[in-house]
Amino acid sequence: MTERLPHERGFHVSWDQLHRDARALAWRLQSEAPDDTGWRAIVAITRGGMAPAMIIARELDIRTVDTISVKSYDHQNQSEAVVIKAPDMNLIGDGDGVLIIDDLVDTGKTLEIVRKQMPKAHVATVYAKPMGREMVDSFITEVSQDTWIFFPWDLALQYVEPYRGQG
């Protein structure tokens, strides 16, 4: 599977690392809140945004959490992102005072369509690649464009050969 990815590097994130990085993002977002009452809601971008959104909601004591689902379709090798489930717009409105959370931004296509729905929201991701960095207001760690980020929900513990004897 992984050999087929057109990326030179792999960045493997453990649950512990994700927890630390999401908490670091929450700490930063706390100081960026619009006023003393804090952020009024979170919109998590499914599915990858749900784990960091839960951690941030806990740290910032945000109880209103909604989701937006974006799916990329391939049309003659050009991918197009489409919203297949929107948040409750009566609750979220234009996004003022709302945090949008995703695990990462890569090309920025997902965030482009999400931002159109909630133009005043504050967009935050845990990880960012250079192409999409301009689409986020806050992030924690940048990786190079040719890096593939592996999240803990896509990984399993397994045996690896010792270095000595390889290559």
Ligand X SMILES: Nc1nc2[nH]cnc2c(=O)[nH]1
147 - beta bridge partners? 9
Catalytic residue among 21, 96, 103, 154: 103
Q: Can 74 be counted among the known catalytic residues?
A: no
Was 105 annotated as part of a binding site?
A: yes
Q: What are 67's two structure tokens?
A: 């989701």
Contact 32, 138 (CB under 8 A): yes
Q: Which residue has the tokens 């952020």?
A: 39
Residues whose CB falls within 8 Å of the CB of residue 162, separated by 6 or more in sequence, listed in order: none
Interface with ligand X, residue 106, by CB under 6 A:
yes
Interface with ligand X, residue 69, by CB under 6 A:
no
- The one of ligand X, Mg ion, ligand PRP, none whose footprint includes residue 132, by CB under 5 to 8 A per kind, is ligand PRP
Q: What are 40's two structure tokens?
A: 């009024």
Of 150, 153, 54, 44, nearest to 98 by C-alpha is: 44
**Minimum gap (Å) between residue 141 Cβ and ligand X:** 12
Q: Can 102 be counted among the known catalytic residues?
A: yes
The binder of ligand X chosen from 43, 92, 135, 149 (CB under 6 A): 149
Contact 65, 91 (CB under 8 A): no
Kindly state the number of chain residues that form the binding site for ligand PRP, as judged by CB under 6 A.
15
Distance CA 56, CA 120 (A): 19
Contact 105, 141 (CB under 8 A): no
Interface with ligand PRP, residue 52, by CB under 6 A:
no
Interface with ligand PRP, residue 21, by CB under 6 A:
no
Annotated catalytic residues are 102-103, 106
- In the annotated binding site, the residues are 47-48, 102-110, 148-149
Residues forming contacts to ligand PRP in the complex (CB under 6 A) are 45-48, 72, 102-110, 132
Annotated binding site for 5-phospho-alpha-D-ribose 1-diphosphate: 47-48, 102-110
